[in-house]
Chains A and B, each alone.
Chain A
Amino acid sequence: ELFGAVQISPLSSGYSLGSSNWIIQSHHEKVSYVSGSSLLTTHPQPMDQSSLKNSDVLILTGLTQMPTANPDGMLGEFCSNLAMTIRAGGNVLVPCYSSGVIYDLLECLYQFIESASLGTTPFYFISPVANSSLEFSQIFAEWLCHNKQTKVYLPEPPFPHAELIQTNKLKHYPSIHGDFSSEFRQPCVVFTGHPSLRFGDVVHFMELWGKSNLNTVIFTEPDFSYLDALAPYQPLAMKCVYCPIDTRLNFHQVSKLLKEVQPLNVVCPEQYTQPPVTQSHRSDLMLELQPPPMPYRRCSVLSLPFRRRYERVYILPELANSLVPSEVKAGVSVATVSAVLHSKDNKHTLQSVPKPPPVAPSKKRKRVIEEPPVTLSPKPLLSGAVPLEAFLATLQKQGITEVKVEETAEGHILHLQAEDTLIQLEEDGTHIVCDNNEPLRTTLRDLVLRFLQKL
């Protein structure tokens, strides 16, 4: 809970370990923030879609940067290129981040190694956080998909890279200096950073292996254009394979999701409302929704389209006990409430009006007569309708016979000729106009009151 005003809850987004979409809600309004989500079955918990329903506003971002690339296909290309290179005696360099997709790559390779007879090829993972990354991935079973959770109950580590490490197929090092340089064997596969090829140990390997066309560098991260990344290394003999793996939602999946979830309004970056610049003819690579989404661009401020009308307030038990609702219409009961509003930490409560303290008899002689504070009891509310015929009959009983009835747009005006008085009967009010005749006015008022309910 944030400052008592809104509740925020994370939902599994299915993209990476612990990745979340967020719901911000009050008692009556709900905003969902959807970013970086995936519907594919990889290692994290599957995406929670049903909790996104009934949103007033859904903010959408973080869709796949590779809408035309199929992640499964990419994975297949990755494996086959890797196998081809190794069999030909070359090395494979995979520039990647130290966590995330690498777990899936290692899992995929774990199964692939046997079938591709790569059993003797060493796999190296070089990063200052390599050890921690691999260890940490094993202890967060609660955030993993069901299959991995059941493994933990056996108990067995949820990710197979534990076995790869145990059988010495996968070795991790904090950097290329130290142990790695003495234990390093070729041909091998190296996972290291940074995917931009501008810094990190990957630079060293690019320089080392770039001159031989036996080696291959395989790009799996979608964040960087591989041609730009390679530019400073040209001319390059090394082979380059581009199979970006981006598991995030594509436009087709998003449209389906939005149809399921049906938010009242969608907000998304401007880019999604048109096809991508490089493929401007592809009209399927954009968001088409009814009503159209509200676009935003960097640094723009949007007013979200909902008006808040109600807020949650709590009536304390003693006050609640004292209320007596009366039914004014079938199924509708009304009660009047006089209370003191307490607002603290964005929590509002209605409490009983405190009784004024009794005036203590003063022993001192008073110079000025103090009047005890007068608390007026509130006037009761009136409800109901004054039926014309019955009212006229009552007037007659009172001796008022000469009544001229005039119909108006809002109701009726009764002219009481003899008394020179006007009674205006309208839907939401009654006005009694008479000059200087207070007793008559009060009598008439009482007659009207007879037909109404007091709350």
Chain B
Amino acid sequence: MPEIKVTPLGAGQDVGRSCILVSIGGKNIMLDCGMHMGYNDDRRFPDFSYITQNGRLTDFLDCVIISHFHLDHCGALPYMSEMVGYDGPIYMTHPTKAICPILLEDFRKITVDKKGETNFFTSQMIKDCMKKVIPLNLHQTVQVDDELEIKAYYAGHVLGAAMVHIKVGSESVVYTGDYNMTPDRHLGAAWIDKCRPDLLISESTYATTIRDSKRCRERDFLKKVHESIERGGKVLIPVFALGRAQELCILLETFWERMNLKAPIYFSTGLTEKANHYYKLFITWTNQKIRKTFVQRNMFEFKHIKAFDRSYADNPGPMVVFATPGMLHAGQSLQIFKKWAGNEKNMVIMPGYCVQGTIGHKILNGQRKLEMEGRSTLDVKLQVEYMSFSAHADAKGIMQLIRMAEPRNMLLVHGEAIKMEFLKGKIEQEFSIDCYMPANGETVTVTTNPSVPVDMSLNLLKREMALGG
């Protein structure tokens, strides 16, 4: 019986360093190649020695597919392709191909230059890696070779995020990457047709939550920000430069406009200008409303949001600052956090998921004394808020996707084990299909039962059909 084998090297019962190996119809495919943001040692990369003990991966993989530019999905790509060694095709969508190298370079700079690490990929490696990338268009079937074909679907989540449909012969797998079933202010919702894959591999970040209405969350967020500003406090919002940041910027901009607020909003420099450009050039990937109006006005040109300078952090008075990176684990957002942490009028709002091990995760779990480098401790007196704006599908959304695609089997990745257990039960109960949730390094075998295609004489076929009436 033909089978599909899936082995997660990362994101199996875990979030971070997504890397899933799929064997289907004799072809081996690597889905995503990410970095774990919570570790600083070798554990941040997936363990490629599973594929082969020594030497390059080119002979063992038919292709690599990257779903989107978040570092936990593409962060290890230059390491894999240049340091471990892989020369085959790497597929990703156009926006991902444009933005990936920027985020990788940024990340490299922080890790090597600022932290002084040595065994890390270089700028040249990033460039060499991107040369191997073949861009994918939405809904276009690409023949990787004679038997393997792949097709990208819109996933929402961030600019250029895609779900991938992989087909070899009569067997098929769909990998969702990270996706969102509800449209937000600048991106649309994920969509897939009733392709009935043998296996659907889905993320399950919010497997047990059903998120309340977006309007409520937005209202809460704006209320908190407003209250802090009224008190004269400073609000820090750590974000990744591309992604949620644009969403929140649009939200704050419209709020500031409506309420005629005067407090300044800042966005850390570097990636803003470029981010704006990318959104303009890839406007076909945003949601309908933005696409319709882009000729008249660019939604991403903000009147109330200005570029940030490090010295502003010491300015008196209220302000809102968007700073990178998103989990407070390094860089500018961490610096600002250290400056403002001592004042209880200030506030930090985490707009998304924080990986274990990061400062973001620690303070969200209530830690109020943090150990910094050089043995100093930091007292966290400012208010810590969590507003979940990250664009992941909730439990309802995941079930909706299953209804859309009608897979024969399910596999969950990118979530926490206990939550996945719960969701697994629900899926098996509601759809009567097998649901798997392997851990890293564990292989799941799914037997597929494909139909056999044959050629039948047309005359015979027409005769039989006529008889049937």
Would A313 and B281 be within 8 Å (CB), given that A132-B295, A152-B98 are in contact? no
B288 adjacent to chain A (CB < 8 Å)? no
A314 adjacent to chain B (CB < 8 Å)? yes
**Which residues does chain A contribute within 8 Å of B135, judged by CB atoms?**
142, 149
Which of A156, A311, A315 is close to B458, meaning CB atoms less than 8 Å apart?
A311
- Selecting from A57-65, A104-112, A341-349, the interface stretch reads A341-349
CA distance A308 to B461 in the complex (A): 12
CB distance from A9 to the nearest CB of B (A): 8
A155 adjacent to chain B (CB < 8 Å)? yes
CA distance A166 to B451 in the complex (A): 59
CA distance A313 to B461 in the complex (A): 9
Would A311 and B137 be within 8 Å (CB), given that A139-B284, A141-B281, A320-B452 are in contact? no
CB distance from B105 to the nearest CB of A (A): 13
**Which residues does chain A contribute within 8 Å of B145, judged by CB atoms?**
none
CB neighbors of A among B302-316 (8 A): none
Which of A9, A152, A349 is close to B281, meaning CB atoms less than 8 Å apart?
A152
CA distance A366 to B455 in the complex (A): 48
CB neighbors of B among A40-98 (8 A): none
CA distance A179 to B450 in the complex (A): 66
**Which residues does chain B contribute within 8 Å of A348, judged by CB atoms?**
456, 461
- How many chain B residues touch A (CB < 8 A): the figure is 31
**Which residues does chain A contribute within 8 Å of B141, judged by CB atoms?**
9
Which of A132, A149, A155 is close to B274, meaning CB atoms less than 8 Å apart?
A155
Instruction: Give the most central of B282, B449, B452: most A CB within 10 Å.
Output: B452
**Which residues does chain A contribute within 8 Å of B284, judged by CB atoms?**
139-140, 142
Would A142 and B137 be within 8 Å (CB), given that A311-B456, A317-B451, A349-B451 are in contact? yes
Would A309 and B465 be within 8 Å (CB), given that A141-B281, A155-B278, A315-B451 are in contact? no
B366 adjacent to chain A (CB < 8 Å)? no
Which of A135, A140, A149 is close to B295, meaning CB atoms less than 8 Å apart?
A135
Residue of A with least CB distance to B465: A343
**Which residues does chain B contribute within 8 Å of A138, judged by CB atoms?**
280-281
Would A310 and B281 be within 8 Å (CB), given that A142-B137, A155-B98 are in contact? no
A138-180 toward B: CB 8 Å interface, digit per residue (1/0)?
A: 1111100000010011011110000000000000000000000
Across the interface, do A309 and B457 meet the contact criterion of CB distance under 8 Å? yes
Across the interface, do A317 and B455 meet the contact criterion of CB distance under 8 Å? no
CB distance from A157 to the nearest CB of B (A): 7
CB distance from B385 to the nearest CB of A (A): 34
Residue of B with least CB distance to A315: B452
CA distance A139 to B159 in the complex (A): 14
CB neighbors of B among A19-48 (8 A): 27-28
The size bracket of the interface on A is 20 to 34
Count of chain A to chain B residue pairs whose CB atoms are closer than 8 Å in the complex = 86
Across the interface, do B454 and A315 meet the contact criterion of CB distance under 8 Å? yes
**Which residues does chain B contribute within 8 Å of A314, judged by CB atoms?**
451-454
A121 adjacent to chain B (CB < 8 Å)? no
Would A153 and B97 be within 8 Å (CB), given that A141-B282, A311-B461 are in contact? yes
CB neighbors of A among B266-304 (8 A): 274, 277-278, 280-284, 294-295
B94 adjacent to chain A (CB < 8 Å)? yes
**Which residues does chain B contribute within 8 Å of A255, judged by CB atoms?**
none
B374 adjacent to chain A (CB < 8 Å)? no
A110-142 toward B: CB 8 Å interface, digit per residue (1/0)?
A: 000000000000000000000110011011111
Instruction: Give the most central of A132, A138, A139, A157: most B CB within 10 Å.
Output: A139
B468 adjacent to chain A (CB < 8 Å)? yes
CA distance A89 to B295 in the complex (A): 35
B464 adjacent to chain A (CB < 8 Å)? yes
CB distance from A148 to the nearest CB of B (A): 11
Residue of A with least CB distance to B138: A142
Which of B94, B454, B455 is close to A142, meaning CB atoms less than 8 Å apart?
B94
> Apart from A142-B137, A313-B456, what 9 extra A-B contacts exist at CB < 8 Å?
A135-B295, A142-B284, A149-B94, A153-B97, A309-B457, A310-B456, A317-B449, A317-B451, A343-B465
Please list the 10 inter-chain residue pairs (A to B) with the smallest Cβ-Cβ separation, ordered nearest first: A314-B451, A310-B455, A155-B277, A153-B98, A313-B456, A317-B449, A315-B452, A320-B452, A135-B295, A341-B464
27 interchain pairs, CB-CB under 8 A:
A135-B294, A135-B295, A139-B282, A139-B284, A139-B294, A141-B282, A142-B94, A142-B135, A142-B284, A152-B98, A152-B282, A153-B98, A153-B101, A155-B98, A155-B278, A309-B457, A310-B457, A311-B456, A311-B458, A313-B454, A315-B453, A316-B451, A341-B461, A341-B464, A341-B465, A343-B465, A348-B461
